[in-house]
Structure 1
C-alpha cells in the first residue's frame, strides 16, 4: 500500500489526527492540573516521635451513639513513616485489634498550648461490672424530647 492510494492517504490522515488529539489532551490535562494545584494544600510533614491526634471517623466504639465519641483520639506518638501519606502510630495495648498504620488525612498535629496548664485530661472512666461508667459532676440542663428526658452533664 502506497501513500498515493486512497487507503494510504486515509491512514496518514488518521495518524496525524490521532497525534493532534493526543497533544490536545496533554494540553488540557496540564491546564486542569495547574488550576487544581493552585487550591491544593501540601500535606503536613510528620516525623518519628511527633505527637498527633487520630480522627475517630473510622474507629468503632462501644458508645451508644457517635455523638458521644470524641472527634479526635490520642495524642499518639508516630513510630515511623511508612510512605509519604501513611504513618505507623504507637497505639495502646487495648487497641490491639486496630491496625496501627493511618493515612495522614486522619492525623492532626498536636499543637502546644500557650496557656500554662490549659489542657486537662478527662477523668478516667469508672469500671463497674466490666462496663465503663462516667461520673457526672454537675447536671447543667435538661429537656423533654419525644417523651424522653435528656440531661446535659458536666
Structure 2
C-alpha cells in the first residue's frame, strides 16, 4: 500500500510503476500480486497443474510465473507447492548413486554355520 500511495503522488520508486488504464501495480514490468494465497495458488495451478503446462518442475514453474507476475516470497511459495505435488513426486526420477554389484557369499567351513531364507 505504501508503494501504491507513493506512486499515486508521482513519487518515483525504483523498479515499480503504475499502469493507469488497467490499474495495475508493476514491478520490473511484472504484475504485483497482493498477499492473497487464493490468487497466488490460482496462478501456480494455471502454470503448473494445467494440461498444457504438463507439471513442470520447480525451476521451470518459477520461470514461467516469474515472466508475468511478482509477489513477496514467490520463490519459496512455488518451491513448496511443487515439492508437495503428488503427480511430480510420483513421476520424478530418483537421483542417487547406482547400487553396487552383487558379491558372492563366502564359502563356509562347515554345515549350519550360515543360514539364509527367502520370504515370498
TM-score w.r.t. structure 2 length? 0.24
Which structure's CA Rg is the greater one?
A: 1
Higher strand share: 1
Q: Which has the higher contact order (CA 8 A, sep 6+)?
A: 2
TM-score w.r.t. structure 1 length? 0.20
